[in-house]
Amino acid sequence: MYKNGKILIGKNEDTEVNILLNMANRHGLITGATGTGKTITLKVLAESFSSAGVPVFMIDVKGDLAGTSMIGEANENITSRVQKMELDGFDYKKYPVTFLDVYGKNGHPVRTTVQSVGHRLMSKMLGLTDVQDSVLSMIYKIAEDENKEMDTLEDLQSMLIYVNNNRNEYSLKYGNLPTQSITTIQRNVLELIEDVDGKFFGYPKFDIKDLRGFDVDNGYGKVSILDAQELFRHPDSYAVMILWLLNELYNTMPEVGDVEKPKMVFFIDEAHLLFDDMPKPIVDHIIQIVKLIRSKGIGLYFVSQLPGDIPQEILAQLGNRVQHALHAYTPQEQRSLKLAADSFRVNPKFDTAKEIQNLGTGEALVSVLDEKGNPTITESVKILPPQSRMGTISDEERRNIILNSDIYGKYEESEDRESAKEKNDVILEAQAQAKQDAEDAKAAEKQAKIDEKLAKEEERRLKAEQREKERQEKEAEKAKKNSIGYKLGKKVVTKTENKIIDKTLNKLLKGFFK
């Protein structure tokens, strides 16, 4: 509950525990076993930051944070708790909620582009090996160098096909691009396209600045709730989504130094998924973000079951801590309990480890940062009840909030702008046409040679036929001349010719001598 410029998180008989707004961007941690009250603590903090005029982002993996958008309702338990805790000024409120959903079912669609996610996170989603990730990084580099925006998974698939078709040329410039690795990546991308996770990628991508905003009537900070009931079923996609948002915040928000209150508070539920089986370079990047993002006025609050779910380098950066009950029946659980107890400043009034085991639902050990940035002595307190509605809301209530949102219509429809696929299709079509033209020319040349060969063979055949005809005619003439009839006829003709000649000569001679 926001009160007197501070966030009242819990009370005991002697002490109120408040988070100081100017220390709220020093990050925080909420841990505890299932069913001990972590979600209520998250909700109470989110409401309080919003009341203080701080925009809030939180993730709803069970659907029970949606009630933040509705005025709280009194019941016996809450009324009794308010009275026992003597919460002066406690009243029921609703908060300016914007619902988001990667799949666009329970909120405004949240998309990003394949290019924006980067090859390391994409490799995580695709389940690639180090060698395959190296190849994918070169695909990203080629797309960037050639100004081919990869908006969707189809764009990535197009780049893989394009590079594979021109592999020899690109290998000279970018290094070895094994066909086997490219084929494996193509297959994994295809599986992701067919899965619902593919809806995460598209254009326009979500503008991180839309997480910031204020209610014009009361100045409350916008509460952006990412509905992750479906997304949570895909742990790798869930982790990639959160890491992308963190990275966008880190790269987008300006440096502000120390601030009177945070510019924004970001709650990360099921935070262990950010680190489970995550490649070391990504974990190192998360650590860097946690260390540096506070200078941009952003407070990160990790929510998980055990402090051990969070890398030690990050735990050291989390100044405001809330520990709900833990059980310690096994040696592993006892080690986890000791780690949790050792992370709190000692209170001489109780044994920290025993107190953690004895906490009831809605109770917690809390230590926050004081004005000098030092952790306060740990207090065992009851957590305040939320001021908005407990639990979820109806589909109609959710729909009305979505329709009246200030970003309604901005992301509801995706755009198919000219990106890598369209650009590659033009090139691949031209290459295919050039290849076809070359094949046609080669085929035509081959056919021309065949035709020329056939023509020569036909010419030789005709000449051979002509020679054969002439030979046959000569043979026939020779045979004719050698025949008896021909010879007899020849003699008769000769005698006749001689008679005619003699007769003619006799006439000429008689005429001459007259």
Pairwise CA distance, residues 230 & 122, whole Å: 19
pLDDT at 198: 62
> What is this structure's pTM?
0.82
Pairwise CA distance, residues 301 & 28, whole Å: 4
pLDDT at 196: 55
As averages over each run of 10 residues, the pLDDT of the chain (514 residues) reads: 93 93 95 93 96 96 93 90 89 95 93 92 89 94 94 93 91 90 92 73 92 90 94 86 91 89 94 86 90 93 93 93 93 90 93 94 94 94 94 94 95 85 81 85 90 90 88 82 69 68 72 64
Given a contact cutoff of 8 angstroms between Cβ atoms, the answer to whether 124 and 278 are in contact is yes
pLDDT at 481: 73
DSSP string, 153-180: HHHHHHHHHHHHHTHHHHHHHH----HH
Pairwise CA distance, residues 278 & 280, whole Å: 6
Pairwise CA distance, residues 230 & 233, whole Å: 6
Pairwise CA distance, residues 23 & 7, whole Å: 11
Query: Phi and psi at residue 314, in whole multiples of 5°?
Result: -85, -40
Residue type at 442?
K
Two structure tokens written together for 258: 């120390």
The dihedral through the CA atoms of 461, 466, 469, 470 has a sign that is: negative
Given a contact cutoff of 8 angstroms between Cβ atoms, the answer to whether 146 and 301 are in contact is no
Which positions ≥6 away from 226 have C-beta within 8 Å? 57, 58, 59, 60, 100, 101, 102, 107, 110, 241
Neighbouring-strand partners of residue 363: 382
DSSP string, 220-252: PBPEEEEE-TTGGGSHHHHHHHHHHHHHHHHHH
Q: Is the peptide bond before 204 cis (omega within 30 degrees of 0)?
A: yes
What is the CA 232 to chain-centroid distance, rounded?
16
DSSP string, 281-344: HHHHHHHHHHHHGGGGTEEEEEEES-GGGS-HHHHTT--EEEE------SHHHHHHHHHHHHTS
